[in-house]
Chain A
Amino acid sequence: MKIAVGNTLPPFRVECVSPEGMKAWAGFLRDPNPIHLDPRAVKSKGLGDRVINQGPANLAYVINMLQRAFPGAMIRTLDIRYVDNVFGGEAVEASGKITQLSESAGEIRLACEVVLRAEARGAVISGTATLCVPVGT
């Protein structure tokens, strides 16, 4: 993709956040919190009636979007706010926009606004990222 301030990044979409995936992430994170595994636990806390995706999994979708937009780039910083939950079965889409650009020492340093949106509900993660991209890629 063309790297220029104002350009939007190709989205990374998950059509259905799967409860099975949440079980896998509970293992990756060594996190046995039942709100990710059992809808009854979510209901008992008054948080809804579907299992809740792990926040780091939501952030990983944003990272996937950045890595697909800039293959070979290195993510240097992330500054992220988790503003809402993602529930089992929802569709989510990570997107971004280039906000700053500079070049030095053979690499392009760029800043992006990033967001993860749950379909029909809005932003669930928002923040900024900076990346370094080798010149010529």
Chain B
Amino acid sequence: MQASSLPPPPQVAGISLTGRAPYVISRQENLELCESMGIVPSGDDRAHPIYFFIATQIGMGMTVAELCAVCEFNVDDGPMIVSSKVEFSQSLLVEQAYRVTGEIVNLTRKLSRKIGVIDMLEYRLNLSRPDGTPVLVTTSVWVLPRGNST
């Protein structure tokens, strides 16, 4: 099979990933997350920066399983994250409400020599305060391995 002969992937670019409810980083969970790595949380209200990923992933309008389903992919087939980019405008704070907006950027079908047909899913999420003040923007790319099932 050649890449040019593959059927097109589902047309999902532009689908909204805007969250339905605000996301709050709990002080207690931030403490537990830091302790799980043997570090001490910030002495002020700053949350661990990895919450850029956690807050956007949980606060977006779909679970990962639902996002996969939109792409006509079963989450049990093992989506794999391949890259993350983030640009912070502000530090993340505990006990601060944030809202998530975003969308699927694209879904591109390719042929991998190792694992067969794959779709590359790219989506962008923005985290902001309830008044609209931007906090960060992040872009993630996942591989959805299709094998020979397309």
Contact = CB atoms under 8 A, between A and B. Distances in A.
Interface residues of B, number: 29
A37 to B, nearest CB: 14
A79 B50 contact: no
B36 A21 contact: yes
B88 A45 contact: no
A76 interface: yes
Interface residues of A, number: 29
Interface in A13-44: 14, 21, 24-25, 28-31, 33, 35
A91 interface: no
Contact of A77 (B57, B78, B81, B85): B85
Contact of A61 (B32, B37, B49, B81): B37
B32 A24 contact: yes
A74 B50 contact: no
Contact of A30 (B49, B58, B80, B88): B58
B57 A29 contact: yes
A53 to B, nearest CB: 11
B150 to A, nearest CB: 19
B33 A28 contact: yes
Nearest to A132: B88
B125 to A, nearest CB: 14
A74 B85 contact: no
28 contacts: A14-B38, A24-B33, A24-B36, A25-B36, A28-B54, A29-B54, A45-B78, A55-B81, A56-B50, A56-B53, A57-B37, A57-B50, A61-B37, A63-B48, A63-B49, A63-B50, A64-B39, A75-B49, A75-B88, A76-B87, A78-B52, A78-B86, A79-B83, A80-B83, A80-B84, A80-B85, A82-B83, A82-B84
